[in-house]
Structure 1
Amino acid sequence: MAEVCSIFKVKGRIGNTIFSERNGKTYARSMPAAVKNPNTEKQQAVRNRFRVAVRFYQRLKETPLEKVWQRSGRNVKLTGFALFMRVNLRMFDHRGKIVDYEGLRLSTGNRDGEYDLSASVDERDRVTLRWAESVDSAYLDQDDRLMVVLLHDDRAFSPEVVEEVQTTRGDRTATFALHRKKGVPVHVYCFFVSPSFSAFSDSQHLLV
């Protein structure tokens, strides 16, 4: 940037030169010769990852999970979509895949979650979930309902809410049947929902 000596006050752009005034002095600088490419490979990857996350959220809208995110977003003054993207965008890649099932959240909130959550599968492909009682919530939130969501490895963008689970926090166990192709891993997400359906725990992930 160069200082300009002139009896005339000059501001703005003339040709490829931009004039500006600061502390009573006039300065001139040249415009950049070329604009950086706004469509680099990295920028394309970022945009594609965003589209992948949007596509997953659209599938959530076909389940009760949309209402979960809407209510959770309202609690932090965001839309459900904005909160989902803030929490989960990095869990997807630009090639259309979920890259971090453990980090993926299908719910988020400040409700107590499951302690020492574990899963076992019997010979009939029935899953039994167990969790411990929290000392802090031993007399609180016992009526919170457990919500279970499945993502099959061969159709991960088709979330399945397990309707047969009608279990509360105080039960400390839940059982449900899997309906999967032989040998296909299933990602199980569990979280608690308050009786008023206004508060939620962060979902926890298990692989069975």
Structure 2
Amino acid sequence: MAIINTSILGKISGKLGNTVIYERNGKTIIKSLPAKSSKPPTAKQLYHRAAFKRGQQFLVPIRTELELGFAKRNAGQSQGFGRALSVLLKTGILNENGIPVLYPEKVKVSEGDVLGIDGAEAQWVGDNVLEITWYPNAFMGHGKEADRLFVVAYDPENGRKWAITQGNYRKSGSQQIQFPWSSDLRGRFYVYVSFFSESYGRRQFSDSVCLGRV
């Protein structure tokens, strides 16, 4: 693979023979395609392909939120969605008799070193209003009262999501979420929560936790 910082090829992109040319982050990438194998895929390869496809299908509707919660810290690290998918494949999809089974409760929407949420619960307080409560634990470890809540409520069956990307402060202990839909909500949404701190426009997150399907 070759990387050209200043493109001599203009805006050319696409496939040329056994070579793919595309642009990423202002750089032109020239990459050779892998040679096709004449051997039939092994059972392990078929499993990994199926797991990868299953993970992608589940995560695509919340891609925007994953790009935020898994934002790369340093140049060269994985982009958000790719990192989120990698974590899901390792911890959220299990091999059960050769079949990849995805457990939504094990999905992560953020990761990081910020102090995580403690004692969080979610309950409906209205037809389309969900309240999340937690224990204000800023005095523990390196948590701060000014850390803010990050919430992703996701209904995978219908592809619906509702996110709070700048929620209440850790010290408040609660957050109400009003959904834009008025019916068929209860028992549909997996709720993922975490905290983030922000400094000079850059966010650092805690590992998210799932509050179950509410």
Question: TM-score scaled to structure 2, two decimals?
Answer: 0.64
Q: 1:99 is aligned with what amino acid? A: L
Q: Is the 8 A contact 2:67 2:79 kept in 1?
A: no
Of 33, 37, 41, 1:39 maps to 41
Relative to 1, partners in 2 of residues 1:153 and 1:54: Cα closer, same or farther, differing over 3 Å?
closer
Of 128, 131, 137, 1:128 maps to 131
Q: Runs of 5+ in structure 2 lacking a partner? A: 1-36
Residue 81 of structure 2 corresponds to residue 66 of structure 1? no
Q: 4+ runs of 1 displaced by more than 6 Å? A: none
Instruction: Tell me the secondary structure at the aligned position of residue 128 of structure 1.
Output: strand
Q: 2:41 is aligned with what amino acid? A: N
Question: What's the counterpart of residue 178 of structure 2?
Answer: 177
Q: Indicate the percent of aligned positions where both proteins have the same amino acid.
A: 22
Q: Runs of 5+ in structure 1 lacking a partner? A: 1-34
Deviations 1:3-41 (A, max 9, x none): xxxxxxxxxxxxxxxxxxxxxxxxxxxxxxxx9954244
**Structure 1: distance between partners of 2:46 and 2:110:** 28
**Structure 2: distance between partners of 1:138 and 1:41:** 45
Relative to 1, partners in 2 of residues 1:161 and 1:75: Cα closer, same or farther, differing over 3 Å?
farther
**Structure 2: distance between partners of 1:170 and 1:50:** 39
Q: Is the 8 A contact 1:52 1:93 kept in 2?
A: no
Residue 87 of structure 2 corresponds to residue 87 of structure 1? yes
Shift of 1:170: 1.1
Relative to 1, partners in 2 of residues 1:71 and 1:104: Cα closer, same or farther, differing over 3 Å?
same
Q: Is the 8 A contact 1:152 1:184 kept in 2?
A: no
Q: 2:120 is aligned with what amino acid? A: L
Instruction: Tell me the secondary structure at the aligned position of residue 78 of structure 1.
Output: coil
Q: 2:169 is aligned with what amino acid? A: T
Deviations 1:145-203 (A, max 9, x none): 11110111422x5543136x631111111111243525542111111111234310111
